[in-house]
Amino acid sequence: MLWLKFLLGGLSIAFCTLLGYLAADKYRRRKGFYLSLQSLNEKYLAELKFSRKPLGEFLKTCEFRGDFQAFLEEFQKTRTAEPTLSYLSKGEKEEIKELFSMLGRGDATSQLGYFSAQAETLKKKCEETGKEAKERSELYLKLGLLAGLAFVILIV
């Protein structure tokens, strides 16, 4: 009977910790989205400086993962950027929409100036989201572990 309590206690701790991990997933996904956006900006700047392919060709060569890849594919089809991701704030969605509205618009010199200015902003945003993801992930894991331990104490 004692082994059953240990098994139930271990499973409840593991389950609550898993819930904490899953709760922090939106912060990790947000961080990944901004890292991909920064990478796209850097690739586009290099493209503007050197080969200057048409936007459609350039976007076909870019491969990313997860939510950003789906967003980029949708942009390629419709040429309108409407981010619907739940982990982005309304202001962030507007900034991303504005950034994508400038892709392929105007001459190379003006685009180069705009996307060069955006590079610093994106770098700061990546640092900010990375720091937040790390803090929140640790917090939610610890909260999950503590909730599991509290549940075990209540059962025993």
* pTM across the whole model: 0.85
> Is residue 156's pLDDT more than 80?
no
- Percent of the chain past pLDDT 90, that is, above it, reads 40
Going from N- to C-terminal start, the domains of the chain cover: 21-155
| Closest C-alpha to 62, from 47, 50, 51, 77 | 47
Q: Largest Cα–Cα distance in the chain?
A: 76
> Is residue 148's pLDDT more than 90?
yes
Q: Could you read off the pLDDT of 11-69 as tens digits, one per residue?
A: 999 999 999 999 999 999 999 999 999 999 998 888 888 877 777 788 888 888 888 88
DSSP label at 106? S
Q: CA 50, CA 56: separation in Å to the nearest integer?
A: 16
Check residue 26 and give its pLDDT. 92
Say which residues have a Cβ less than 8 Å from residue 68's Cβ, sequence separation at least 6.
Answer: 32, 33, 36, 37, 40
DSSP label at 155? H
Say which residues have a Cβ less than 8 Å from residue 15's Cβ, sequence separation at least 6.
Answer: 148
Q: Tell me if residue 42 falls in helix, strand or coil.
A: helix
